[in-house]
A and B are shown apart, each in its own frame.
Chain A
C-alpha cells in the first residue's frame, strides 16, 4: 500500500496535458490508464481522514479532504471516467479527449475540495472544460446551446463565489461543511448549487445542452456536473426541509415532458432531472437512511444513466438519427445494443435485481418513515412514470415499435465493451447491494429484498407496463412527432430576445431623435471651441506673465481664506 500526497485531480490534469501531444495508440492507452491509475491511487493511497492543504495569500486551500462521502463520489467518478473513456476510444479528435480528461479531473477536484474557494475554482472549471464536449458536435445548434450552457454554468459559479465571500465575512471561515439556508450567503450558495442541480425553472441548461453534445460527449456530461451538485447539497444542506418539496417537484414535472419529447437523448435528459429529484429528496429528509439513499442513487444513476446515454449515443453514431419519430426496428441490426439498453432501462426503472431498486427504495422508505405521506405518493407516481418514459419508451421507440427501415450495423466494439461493463455493474450492484452499502458514508441497517417490497415494486412496474400496452393498443398513446416543447427556457430563448427586439423597435424613433439632437450639440460645441481655442480664438492668445501672477495670488488668497475658516 502506498500513501501519497497527490490530489486525485492532478493525475487527470497531467494526463490531459500529455494527451495534447500523444496520438494514436499511445493516446488510447493514456485514456484508459488515467482512470485506472487514478482509481488505484484513490483506493490504496487516500484513506479516510486524509487532509491536504496549500497556503494561498492569507487562505489555506484544502485540496483534499477525504471522508467517506467524498471518497464514495471519488470512486464513482473514476468508474464513470473509465467507462466513458472506453466508449470514446474511437474518437480521433484531440479536443474531446483533452476536454473529457480535464472535465473528469475538475469533478474530482470539486468533490475533494475542503473549502469554498477551491470548490469555486473547480466549479467553474467544470463549466469551462465540459462546454467543449458540446461544441465538438460542430453544429450551429450545438454552438448556441453551448453558449447558453456556459453562461448559466458560469453564473452559478459567480453566485457561489459571492456566497462564499459573504460566508467568510460572517463566519471568518471558508470551510466547506454544513452551510444551511440562514442569511444571504446560505441563499446564494443554495441557488448556485440549485442551478447545477437543475432545480425547477433552473433546469433548462441540462435539457438544452446535453442532447446537443457529441454522442460520446453526453456520456461524460451525464456523469459529472449534476452529481457534483448533489454531493455539494449533501455536504452543505442536509436536512433542509425545502429540498424535499423541490425534489418531489423535480421527480414529477419532467416525466410529462419526457412522454411527449421526440429527441430520445432529450427524453433521457428530462429523466435525469427526475432521478436527481429522488436524490434531492433524500438530502432534504436528511436522516442517515435518506442521505445514504441519495448518494447511493447518485452512484447508481451515473452508471445506468450513462448506460442509457451510451446506447442512444451508439444509435446516433450508427444511424445519425436520434428522433423517436424516425427510429424503430433497430433490434434487427443492433441486437446487442438493444439488450444492453434494456438492462439500463430496467435499472433506472428500479426492477428488483437491478441497481436502481436498491438505492431508490432507501429514499422512499425514509420518506414514509419521516411522515411525508403525500410527497411519497408523488414519488411513487414518478417511479411509475420513469418506467414509462425511460424504461419503456426509450428502448421501445429506438429498437422496436414500427420498423423505420433503417438497416445499420452493431455498435463498434469499444462501445459494446463500455456498455457491457456498465450493464454488469448495474446487475451486480442490484443483486449484491452489500458491497455498495459497505461504502456508504452513514451507518445503515437496511436491506431492500423482502417479499413485501419486491412484490409491491413488481406490481407497480408491471401494471405501468400494462397501461402502456393498453394505451398503445387503444391508439391513445401520443405518437412521436418531430417537434419541440416549450419549457421554462422559452423565457430566455424567446420572450427575452423578442422583448428586446420590441423595445428596440419602440425606442428607435426616440433614439434617432436623440442622435440628431446630440450631433447638433456636438456641432455647436466644436464651433464654440473653434471660436475660443482656434487659431484666432481668445484662448490661443499668449498671456502676459502679469495675469499669471495675478491668478496665483487669487488662488493663494482663496486657500488662506479656506484655512482660516
Chain B
C-alpha cells in the first residue's frame, strides 16, 4: 500500500543519506586518529595496540553478524513452527 500524495521526508533523498554517512565516516576517522594523539592510560596489555577498541568493535560485529547468519541455517523455522502439531 504505497501512499500517493506523499511529501518528501528527510531520508527519501539519497543525498541526505549520503551526507549523513559522510559525516559518520569522518567521525570514525577522527576517533581513530585521536588514538595516536591522546595518550591513554592503559590498564591492560591488549590496549597497547593502537586502535584496539576500534578494530575490536568492527571485527566483533562483523563476526557476530556472520555467525548469526550461519546459525539461521540450523535454527530457523517457519513462523508457525510451534503453533502447529506435527
**Does any Cβ of B come within 8 Å of A509's Cβ?**
no
A-B contact pairs, 29 of them (CB 8 A): A256-B64, A260-B68, A260-B69, A260-B71, A260-B75, A369-B43, A380-B56, A381-B56, A384-B57, A384-B64, A388-B65, A405-B1, A405-B3, A451-B38, A455-B53, A459-B53, A459-B57, A462-B24, A467-B61, A469-B24, A471-B65, A476-B66, A478-B68, A481-B76, A484-B76, A484-B79, A484-B81, A485-B71, A486-B81
Q: Is A456 located at the chain interface by the 8 A CB criterion?
A: yes
CA distance A564 to B60 in the complex (A): 87
Give the Cβ gap from B69 to chain A, nearest Cβ, in Å: 5
Knowing A380-B56, A485-B72, the reply to whether A469 touches B21 (Cβ < 8 A) is: yes
Asked whether B55 lies within 8 Å of A463 as measured between CB atoms, the reply is: yes
Question: Of A332, A384, A405, A482, which one neighbours B60 at CB under 8 angstroms?
Answer: A384
What residues of chain B lie closer than 8 Å to A108, measured between beta carbons? none
A485 to B9, CA, bound (A): 35
Could you tell me the distance between the alpha carbons of A368 and B42 in the complex, rounded to whole angstroms? 11
CA distance A368 to B44 in the complex (A): 8
In the assembly, what is the distance between CA of A487 and CA of B82, in Å? Answer: 12
Q: Is the interface of A mostly helix, strand, loop or mixed?
A: helix
Residues 28-46 of B, flagged 1 when their CB comes within 8 A of A and 0 if not, give 1001101100101101101
Complex: chain B residue closest to A493, CB-CB: B82
Given the interface pairs A260-B69, A476-B66, A485-B72, the reply to whether A464 lies near B57 with Cβ below 8 Å is yes
CB-defined contacts of B46 to chain A, threshold 8 Å: 377
Most buried by B among A260, A377, A406: A260
A463 CB contact (under 8 Å) in B1, B54, B69, B83:
B54
A contact residues around B3 at 8 Å (CB)? 405, 407
Q: Is A498's CB within 8 Å of the partner chain B?
A: yes
Q: Which residues of B contact A400 (CB under 8 A)?
A: 11
When A and B form their complex, which 8 residue pairs have the shortest distance between CB atoms, in order from nearest? A467-B61, A463-B57, A259-B68, A459-B53, A460-B57, A463-B58, A452-B40, A384-B60
List chain A residues, Cβ under 8 A from B83: 140-141
Residues A482 and B79 in contact, CB atoms below 8 Å apart: yes
Q: Are A467 and B57 in contact (CB under 8 A)?
A: yes
Most buried by A among B24, B56, B61, B69: B61
> Cβ of B75: which chain A residues have Cβ within 8 Å of it?
260, 485-487
With A407-B3, A471-B65, A486-B77 already in contact, the answer to whether A455 and B38 are too (CB < 8 A) is yes
Closest to B59 in A: A467
Instruction: Contact check, B60 vs A494: say whether CB atoms are below 8 A apart.
Output: no
| Interfacial chain A residues near B43, Cβ < 8 Å | 365, 368-369
A9 to B43, CA, bound (A): 45
* Interface-centre pick from A373, A381, A462, A471 (highest chain B CB count, 10 A): A462
Which of chain A's residues 225-274 have a Cβ closer than 8 Å to chain B?
A: 255-257, 259-260
Complex formed: what's the CA distance from A373 to B64 in Å? Answer: 20
Cα–Cα, bound, A497→B82 (Å): 11
B13 at interface by CB-CB < 8 Å: no
A-chain residues with CB within 8 Å of residue B47 when the two chains form the complex: 456
Q: Which residues of B contact A462 (CB under 8 A)?
A: 24, 27-28, 31, 54, 57
Do A478 and B72 have beta carbons less than 8 Å apart?
Answer: yes
B86 within 8 A of A: yes
With both chains docked as a complex, state the minimum distance between the C-beta of B62 and any C-beta of chain A, in angstroms. 5
The minimal Cβ–Cβ distance linking A445 to chain B, given in whole angstroms, is 16
Chain A residues positioned under 8 Å from B31 (CB to CB)? 455, 458-459, 462-463
Question: With an 8 A cutoff between CB atoms, is A43 at the interface?
Answer: no
